Amino acid sequence: MSLLEVTDLRVSFPTPDGVVRAVRGVSFEVDRGRTLGIVGESGSGKSVTTQTLMRLTPGARVSGSALFEGADLLTLGDRAMRALRGAEIGMIFQDPLSSLHPLYKVGRQIEEMVRAHDRGASRTQARKRAVEMLGLVGIPQPARRADEYPHQFSGGMRQRAMIAMALALNPKLIIADEPTTALDATVQAQILDLMRRLQGEFDTALIMITHDLGVIADMADDVLVMYGGRPAERGGRRSAYYRQHHPYTKGLLESVPSAAGGRRRLKPIPGQPPSLINLPSGCVFHPRCPYVMDRCRTEDPPLAPVADDPAHVSACWLPDEALGRGDDAEALRRRAVEDGRTGAAARPPGTSDTGAADTTVLGETGVPAEYEEPRGVPGGLGGEPRERPGWEPGGRREAGGRGGGGRETGGPGGGGPGEEPGTGWTRADGGGE
Ligand SMILES: Nc1ncnc2c1ncn2[C@@H]1O[C@H](COP(=O)(O)OP(=O)(O)OP(=O)(O)O)[C@@H](O)[C@H]1O
């Protein structure tokens, strides 16, 4: 069982203007030591997805399940949920001041956090932990800086302090919501390096929300691309970068400066994201899609496995073989669009994890029999080779496969200046899972 298993999550907000259908059938899994990147334009439902897991969406109508070590976060009692937040699941936000109280010293805030969850910890122990954590995240002179207020820290330092706070209780999962968006490129690279190194050290699972595909390329093992509140595509990082199927994923890649690289021209995705109150008919992306076919306007494509990889799913009617940005794939897409205009089906109906009506017969592995892989073929999300894409948007990453227990080391370059841990801080549980 994965550490976190989210199934068919749906979240809507009743408002005077109508019901905002913010999240519509999102499913994913995250294992220990792995990073799931959730990417999409503003308003695609990324934050609502994770805030709902943390039960931070009051007034929302929620359905589905989110099993964290088997307990459903969506139905857990308030007390159990409070105990879990921070201790088991940590959060890092774009704005550190949303976590750090401006009127309390930074060290004190970490101490309070430690003591709130560990009643047995004395004030001295909590203080020691706070200073250790600040040192671990690369704050110079941590004992002295612990006695400063958040406004005395630079933006990057505040972000480090928030990471220290999120890690202080050694959570199993960290949710980072645009953690580096507000930082300049150099500091961003340092913070991402730091997160990667600490994640590898403590085998923490990470959900990284971002609109920046560069961050995902540098951090994520698996990628969930969201559009209009639902998954457009999901798969290993390699699938997302080299074998993307959904035109939205392709559009996102082509609209990122570093992804376009060299002399290639940037192509912003034309048009606007949809209203989540009045969703378009058919495929929610069809009004902006350069490959729109007739059926896209009326039939909502289910999220179905792409070609030979059951872990790679896409919600698009284009043929399975239309993968990536090569000329062959483009020719296939163009032909499908031509055929589509004359009514020919480009892709068979598949299964759906969006909760849409599904009459497909499932095979042994839970995917439609027609897509099922022969047994023994590596294809899970964990089966992706850890190759880096050919562009490096967010800083460096050293080669470093996962060692025993799924650990990943940040490599020798795993920290910015002053980022060596330099402390004997160990996991509260003795260092292993
Ligand atoms: N409490 C709420 N009431 C009504 N609508 C909401 C509420 N919270 C979020 N929404 C709407 O849900 C949609 C998804 O929001 P969400 O914050 O998840 O997007 P996002 O993909 O994280 O975008 P961003 O990167 O801008 O944060 C948006 O249209 C937003 O306006």
Backbone angles phi, psi at 372, to 5 degrees: -65, 140
The Cα 213–Cα 241 span in angstroms is: 9
Confidence of residue 4 (pLDDT cuts 50, 70, 90): very high
Q: Which residue has the higher pLDDT, 408 or 135?
A: 135
Ligand 1 mutation pick, 21, 46, 275, max ligand atoms within 8 A of CB: 46
Q: How would DSSP label each residue in 173-201? A: EEEEESTTTTS-HHHHHHHHHHHHHHHHH
- Mean pLDDT for all residues in the chain: 77
What is the DSSP track for 371-384?
A: GPPPTT---SGGGS
Distance 53 CA to ligand 1 centre (A): 14
CB atoms under 10 Å from CB of 152, counted, come to 12
CA-proximal residue: ligand 1, atom 29 (nearest): 43
Residue bearing the CA closest to ligand 1, atom 9: 48
Residue 417 pLDDT more than 90?
no
Pairing of strands 35-39, 222-227: parallel
Q: Which ligand 1 atom sits closest to the C-alpha of 229?
A: 14
User: Cβ of 364: how many Cβ atoms within 10 Å?
Assistant: 8
Question: Which is more confidently placed, 262 or 100?
Answer: 100
Q: Residue 393's CB: how many other CB atoms inside 10 A?
A: 21
> Around Cβ 134, how many Cβ atoms within 10 Å?
28
Predicted confidence (pLDDT) at residue 324 exceeds the cutoff of 60: yes
Domain ranges of the chain: 92-170
Instruction: Say whether 73 sits in a helix, a strand or coil.
Output: coil
pLDDT tens, residue by residue, 175-197: 999 888 777 788 788 888 888 88
Q: Which atom of ligand 1 is nearest to the CA of 226?
A: 21
Report DSSP letters for 280-292, one per residue: PSSSTTGGG-TT-
Q: Are 232 and 225 in contact (CB under 8 A)?
A: yes
The CB density around residue 174, as the number of other CB atoms within 10 Å, is: 23
343 pLDDT tier (thresholds 50, 70, 90):
low
Write down the pLDDT at residue 415.
32
Cα 29 off chain centre by: 10
46 lines ligand 1 (CB under 6 A): yes
Give the nearest ligand 1 atom to 60 CA: 1
* 3-state class (DSSP) for residue 9: strand
Distance 43 CA to ligand 1 centre (A): 5
Token digits of residue 392 = 């490096």
Instruction: Give the pLDDT score at 265.
Output: 60
**3-class DSSP state of 12:** strand
Phi, psi of 279 (to 5 degrees): -75, 145
The per-residue pLDDT for range 28-39, each reduced to its tens digit, is 999 999 999 999
Provide the pLDDT confidence category of residue 170 given band limits of 50, 70 and 90.
confident
134-138, 246-250, 302-306: least confident range: 134-138
Question: Is ligand 1 within 6 A of the CB of residue 20?
Answer: yes
Cα 230 off chain centre by: 14
* pLDDT band, very low/low/confident/very high, at 136 (cuts 50, 70, 90): confident
52 touches ligand 1 (CB under 6 Å) = no
CA of 226 to the centre of ligand 1 (A): 12
User: pLDDT class for 342, splitting at 50, 70, 90?
Assistant: low
| Interval between CA 175 and ligand 1 midpoint (Å) | 17
Tell me how far apart the alpha carbons of residues 371 and 347 are, in angstroms, rounded to a whole number. 12
**Is the pLDDT assigned to residue 318 strictly greater than 90?**
yes
Question: Does the beta carbon of 47 lie inside 6 Å of ligand 1?
Answer: yes
